[in-house]
Amino acid sequence: MDYLDAVKVLRSNPLFSKLDQAKLKLLAFASEYQTFKDGEVLFNAGEPSDCAYLINEGEAIVVVEKDGSEIIINTLGRHEVFGEMGIFRNSARSATIKAKGDLSVMRIDGDMFLSLVTENPDAALGVMRLLSDKVADASVLAKK
């Protein structure tokens, strides 16, 4: 993916959609593009939270371990952001993320992600909405 395509992908996510073109280009240029095959691990629970990811194509599953078994708690799709919660909390990863089929992502450095969010009120509002949605989804799952 070239960086102009990456700018389009970033713009498609509500978190980044209000950023000006120059910031989107900087983010696209500074991000790393990675691909994963079905079942490959992007990161494991307990690892340092040093980056966030944006899915370009494919799906990822969120897995937690309970009583020695893996439980899939969510499936993430195209243009979704994940891995940001550990950055904000300055804590280790709370779950394992695996590719479900072929997956391509943008890996966004944690410091750059924080900088963009803290310097841009629209991005900060987008993060609050994103995290609120995740908390609401987790509440629904917990009731099942």
Below-50 pLDDT ranges, the chain: none
pLDDT at 107: 96
Residue 69 tokens, joined:
């078994």
Q: Give the C-alpha separation, 70 to 115, whole Å.
A: 34
* CA nearest neighbour of 100 among 37, 35, 34: 37
What pLDDT is recorded for position 63? 96
Taken in order of first residue, the domains within the chain and their CATH numbers are 32-111+120-143 (2.60.120.10)
pLDDT, tens digit, 9 for 90 and up, residues 68-108? 899 999 999 999 999 988 898 899 999 999 999 999 999 99
pLDDT confidence of residue 140: 64
- 52, 84 Cβ separation under 8 angstroms: yes
Whether the model pTM is above 0.75: yes
The two tokens of residue 35 are 């691909």
d(CA 99, CA 38): 5
* pLDDT score for 118: 83
pLDDT at 124: 75
pLDDT at 123 (0 to 100): 74
What's the whole-number average pLDDT of the chain? 88
